[in-house]
Structure 1
């Protein structure tokens, strides 16, 4: 008699952030299983599993596969399928999106669908499938890099790899000389896109979908550091965004059509758009748990965690989720350059989430409660060298706070960020 189980796919750094999924699956009577790649340190994972106070101690079984591909995952999970009755599966993070979609399909389980999963991990497929929501673009294979003629390009442009995430390898380019330099810097086998630079505010739409129907969606405002350089690192999120109803409707309509065209069936989706010249322009769509602190923000905003409803969707159970009743915000911190020594805060507890592989449990407050900071996340190890925040992996930390509706969040962002100090020493 095989025990009922739930199969999660994702490496430690992301799984630790969404550990409530593990504890919720165990609470419901499912053995939580985890598939990781060599990016996860097996000794560290074993240490956490042996700590009864850590959520990952509730994992029933772990399998390491050599790569987050269908061809690596399918043989790797066969021992788990023989020992357990897997009744649901979910990708945590970006790497396993495609194999998770395939696994759900071959096991006859609810999921995003193989096609949607494949398309969401490849920006070239997204551009080809959704041209009317795309900026002007062209694809450049490794063999074509030396033949790109700057005279045929209207600058500025954005150059991005088709399969990376966290803004890794994404650059704004303003002239032909810089374009040649950027193209030459990519690995020899990497395909990239050259896209027109879309000017306008950026948002993400988080959607909960069951049987192909969106039953809950909401807009997150996104801030980047693009105004101070050539990078597009996310430096802030606000849930829900403060925007006109007409803009919200524009985003919802575009998002619904994107998900319909992808034939997205069950789960949570995270689609990023810019509003430019009266249209919603798709930056990318991901059929997975949103990154950063967005799940924590929606918990603070709605008063209910997202993880239980995500499990409902993956198990094919009836699901719903409330509308937001507060506004929550995450602000990534500016930091001095140097070796990280400490992070202190006068307004919220500091959690070294990268060092401890543990995120704090934040309790939502009443809808009309005063504004307050709820947590500071440090996403680097002590001793890390802090420099320019060129992508998501170079950020040092963030502060999360929430406010009642009717109170402006923007002025408080600077205030709460100013309550946090990142301490460094000069690099030797």
Structure 2
């Protein structure tokens, strides 16, 4: 593709306000390379609020040069929206940092001859039903039921897990133990939703983050996950540890399974975030794979664990540059604190500032420490606004405050993080 030298070089980032605030280093890094950050957001973003952040010279998102909002991820709508950008700018990379635009981002990369996941890999990574078909040898026993066939939905074995195929953030995912619970669960979904009914895979949950350059797997990291499934019917994530403290054989099995999946997808360039269950026999079972940056504080955890932020590597991959990302020398943990029902009025942590990320519109920056440094609380954040109603955790949107802690390599992450989580004080009005 011809790129006249008189056009300003730019990178397109597809995201939403929440992910932009979390991954603001992407915008900073793009701008510091002399490239113009152009942003596409979806319908859930409050565009006026985003514009307020862009207009604030002290806000990290102020370096965004232009923003467009789309009503959805339709490829034709995306192409129509960015057509003038392609005339006015020399677009050198496309980055997807949110789930909604994985598919159109892959198409735009391919259309422009830029590094990307590849349209096939992007399509499969965005569709849970396609994953169960294309990657069936890696996943659980599963059946999909289209909206018109939902009345015939059945489980081959109990307990099972019911999930809507098109949602995100663990929304609508629930355990069912018999036919009655299955029928009740089906009433909670929208009429047009396709439903998956899967065997319940028993075992701890992990994610594998991977950096891939032109089909070459450059770096893999295994993150341990903690959910609330032990005392509820739901599967909301309430903690992450990067890297997971595992026997070497289990880490190797997870990394190898992920590598095989990436090969099966013919994955091109970018970052992936795949979620697995590790069965008692040590076999990883794929829950799902996403072709985007991971959510929650996982990128922050890898920064603290390796000493280097991961966002510049993502920009490298988008530009066709082979990044060099280090192995971890510490462990980092994110842990959400338990809350009681009521209205959240304040969060306090003695000796540490508390970041209300919804109000601020960005996540606080952290700096890594030496590998031998003692354990510390790196950040305390609140994911809901003041006045939010707290209740049982059905999905990620109901979580409140959490700590991010980094530890020496040999420390026990599960026990040590509790000492910091217990210092978080929630003020709740009943």
* TM-score bucket (shorter structure): over 0.9
> Residue 189 in 1 paired to residue 189 in 2?
no
> Residue 27 in 1 paired to residue 32 in 2?
yes
Looking at structure 2, the residues matched to 359 and 188 of structure 1 have their Cα atoms a distance apart, in angstroms, of 36
Tell me the equivalent position of 1:272: 275
Which of 134, 147, 150 is residue 152 of structure 2 equivalent to?
147
Which of 195, 200, 205 is residue 208 of structure 2 equivalent to?
205
Question: How far 1:414 moved relative to its partner?
Answer: 1.4
Question: How far 1:10 moved relative to its partner?
Answer: 0.8
TM-score (norm: length of structure 2): 0.97
Which of 44, 47, 55 is residue 42 of structure 1 equivalent to?
47
Which of 375, 378, 385 is residue 382 of structure 2 equivalent to?
378
Question: How far 1:323 moved relative to its partner?
Answer: 0.4
Looking at structure 1, the residues matched to 172 and 240 of structure 2 have their Cα atoms a distance apart, in angstroms, of 21
> Residue 242 in 1 paired to residue 245 in 2?
yes
Question: How far 1:397 moved relative to its partner?
Answer: 2.0
Looking at structure 1, the residues matched to 114 and 213 of structure 2 have their Cα atoms a distance apart, in angstroms, of 12
Which of 349, 362, 368 is residue 364 of structure 1 equivalent to?
368
- 1:37 and 1:65 in contact (8 A); partners too: yes
Looking at structure 2, the residues matched to 359 and 163 of structure 1 have their Cα atoms a distance apart, in angstroms, of 27
Quote the RMSD (CA, aligned, Å): 1.0
Looking at structure 2, the residues matched to 269 and 154 of structure 1 have their Cα atoms a distance apart, in angstroms, of 31
Looking at structure 1, the residues matched to 73 and 351 of structure 2 have their Cα atoms a distance apart, in angstroms, of 40
- Cα deviation, 1:234-279, whole Å, max 9, x if unaligned, reads 0100000000111111111100010011111101111111111331
Looking at structure 2, the residues matched to 14 and 344 of structure 1 have their Cα atoms a distance apart, in angstroms, of 25
Looking at structure 2, the residues matched to 70 and 146 of structure 1 have their Cα atoms a distance apart, in angstroms, of 32
- Cα deviation, 1:210-245, whole Å, max 9, x if unaligned, reads 010111111000010001111000010000000011
> Residue 258 in 1 paired to residue 268 in 2?
no
Which of 84, 91, 94 is residue 99 of structure 2 equivalent to?
94
Tell me the equivalent position of 1:354: 358
Paired residue secondary structure (1:336) = coil
Looking at structure 1, the residues matched to 205 and 49 of structure 2 have their Cα atoms a distance apart, in angstroms, of 37
> Residue 312 in 1 paired to residue 316 in 2?
yes
Question: How far 1:201 moved relative to its partner?
Answer: 0.8
Equivalent positions of 1:158-237 (< 5 A) are 158-237=161-240
Paired residue secondary structure (1:207) = strand
Tell me the equivalent position of 1:133: 138
Question: How far 1:92 moved relative to its partner?
Answer: 1.2
> Residue 397 in 1 paired to residue 406 in 2?
no
Unaligned runs of 5+ in 1: none
Tell me the equivalent position of 1:7: 12
Paired residue secondary structure (1:376) = strand
Tell me the equivalent position of 1:412: 416
- Cα deviation, 1:162-186, whole Å, max 9, x if unaligned, reads 1211101101001111100111221
- 1:349 and 1:374 in contact (8 A); partners too: no
Question: How far 1:149 moved relative to its partner?
Answer: 4.7
Tell me the equivalent position of 2:128: 123
Looking at structure 2, the residues matched to 347 and 410 of structure 1 have their Cα atoms a distance apart, in angstroms, of 22
Which of 56, 63, 67 is residue 58 of structure 1 equivalent to?
63
Looking at structure 2, the residues matched to 318 and 263 of structure 1 have their Cα atoms a distance apart, in angstroms, of 18
Unaligned runs of 5+ in 2: 1-5
Tell me the equivalent position of 1:67: 72
Looking at structure 1, the residues matched to 77 and 341 of structure 2 have their Cα atoms a distance apart, in angstroms, of 40
Paired residue secondary structure (1:8) = strand
Distance 1:267 1:209, change over 3 A: same
Question: How far 1:13 moved relative to its partner?
Answer: 1.1
Looking at structure 2, the residues matched to 385 and 90 of structure 1 have their Cα atoms a distance apart, in angstroms, of 34
Tell me the equivalent position of 2:115: 110
Aligned residues: 424
Paired residue secondary structure (1:133) = coil
Tell me the equivalent position of 1:18: 23
Looking at structure 1, the residues matched to 230 and 328 of structure 2 have their Cα atoms a distance apart, in angstroms, of 30
Paired residue secondary structure (1:220) = strand
Looking at structure 1, the residues matched to 285 and 198 of structure 2 have their Cα atoms a distance apart, in angstroms, of 12
TM-score (norm: length of structure 1): 0.97
Paired residue secondary structure (1:256) = helix
- Cα deviation, 1:125-174, whole Å, max 9, x if unaligned, reads 01101111111111111122222356xx2110001111211101101001
Looking at structure 2, the residues matched to 16 and 23 of structure 1 have their Cα atoms a distance apart, in angstroms, of 12
